[in-house]
Amino acid sequence: MTTRAGFVALIGEPNAGKSTLLNAMVGAKVSIVTHKVQTTRARIRGVAMEGQSQIVFVDTPGIFRPRRRLDRAMVNAAWGGAADADMIVLLVEAHRGLTPGVESILEALRGREGTQPVALAINKIDKVKSEELLGLTAKLNEAYQFTKTFMISAERGYGVQDLKEWLAGEMPEGPWLYPEDQIADLPMRMIAAEITREKLTLRLHEELPYQLTVETESWEERKDGSARIDQVIYVARDGHKGIILGKGGETIKAISKAAREELIEFLDRPVHLFLQVKVRPNWLEEAERYSEMGLDFKDSK
C-alpha cells in the first residue's frame, strides 16, 4: 500500500475553532481550547492517521492585527506555519462571516497564491440557517479561489471526517513522518505547561491570561511510575500574583487540581503537580520566555 504524509496548516482569526478542529482530527486533546481569543501561542503539531495517510496538522496562532511584541511573534508564527505546509485550511466562523479580519487574511493569501492549495472550512455551521451558509460560501469563493469548500462544526463533529478523508488523499506520497501512535510533536513539558495555562485562562479575568506564561521547570520520573512536575507561572505585576493565588490560596489550588486531573488523564498515570507564581515585570521582552513558547523572539520586533 502506498503511504502518504504531509503538513496541513490551520489558519484563521482568533477563536475560529482551529484548536477544536485539531483536537477532533487527532482524536485527543493536543491544543488548548478556551472561550478566550488568542490562546494558542506556539505552532502546535498534531498528528492524525487516516488509512495509509499521516496528516501533520499545524495549529497556528490566530491571525489578527498585532499590538505588542508577543502579538507580532504569534502572527509571524502563524504565517511561518502556513509557509511550511503542503496545504492550508482557512477556518471561517459561519455566524461572523466575511469580517475585516478574514478580508485581511484573504488579501495575504492572494499575495502568495499558487504556493500551495488552500481549502475553506466554514465552521460552527450549527449557528446559522442553511440559506445564509450558501450565501457566505458564494461570497468567500468569489473573494478567493479555494481548492475545495467544507461546511463543518468542529465542536459537534459535523463534516470533520469528510475534511479529514479529503486531506488524507491530498497528502504527498512518501513515508510517514512520525510513529503511528504519536499524536503530537510538542515536548511533553510544553504540553503540560499548556494544560496549566488553559486552566488559568478559563479561571482568570479578561486581560490577565495574556499577561502570563507557564513553564515546566522540572519533570521527574519516579520509581512508582508517577511523575513529579514543577511549573512556574510568570506574571508581569505583583497584583497579578495575588489574583492567581486567590484568598487563602484558593484560586491556585483549584487551578492546580484541574490541571493535575487533566495531566493524569492525558498521561494515564499518577501526577504530582507543584505550581509557583513568580513576578517578572519584563517577561514579555525576554528571549528565553519566547523560546519556551516555541516562538521566535528576533522575528517579533
Please count the residues of the chain.
301
DSSP-derived pairing of the beta strands 53-59 and 44-50: antiparallel
**Residue 81, annotated as binding a ligand:** no
**Residue 16, annotated as binding a ligand:** yes
**Residue 298, annotated as binding a ligand:** no
**Residue 104, annotated as binding a ligand:** no
**Residue 107, annotated as binding a ligand:** no
Q: Which grid cell sits at 271?
A: 501526577
Could you tell me what percent of the chain has a pLDDT over 70?
Answer: 78
Over the stretch 156-171, which tens digit does the pLDDT of each residue have?
999 999 999 999 999 9
**Residue 244, annotated as binding a ligand:** no
**Residue 164, annotated as binding a ligand:** no
The predicted structure's pLDDT at residue 65: 53
User: How far, in Å, are 134, 183, 265, 267, 282 from residue 26 at the CA level?
Assistant: 29, 7, 16, 16, 36
Helix, strand, coil % over all residues of the chain, rounded to 5: 40, 25, 35
Q: How confident is the model at residue 43 (pLDDT cuts 50, 70, 90)?
A: low
Contact (Cβ atoms closer than 8 angstroms) between residue 37 and residue 14: yes
**Residue 17, annotated as binding a ligand:** yes
Mean pLDDT of the chain: 83
- Find which of 35-39, 59-63, 152-156 is predicted with most confidence, using mean pLDDT: 152-156
The predicted structure's pLDDT at residue 42: 54
Q: How far apart are CA 86 and CA 30, in angstroms?
A: 21
Q: Kindly list the structural domains of the chain, giving each domain's residue range(s) and its CATH number in brackets, ordered by start.
A: 4-170 (3.40.50.300), 188-300 (3.30.300.20)
**Residue 242, annotated as binding a ligand:** no
- Tell me which long-range contacts 241-248 makes (C-beta under 8 A, separation of at least 24): 241/277, 241/278, 241/279, 243/204, 243/205, 243/208, 244/200, 244/204, 244/208, 244/212, 244/277, 245/277
Q: Which amino acid would we find at residue 233?
A: I
pLDDT of 37 strictly over 50: no
Question: What mean pLDDT do residues 76-98 have?
Answer: 80
pLDDT of 220 strictly over 80: yes
pLDDT of 192 strictly over 70: yes
Question: What mean pLDDT do residues 259-286 have?
Answer: 87
pTM over 0.75: no
pLDDT of 51 strictly over 70: yes
Reference 54, options 4, 119, 88, 105; nearest CA is: 4
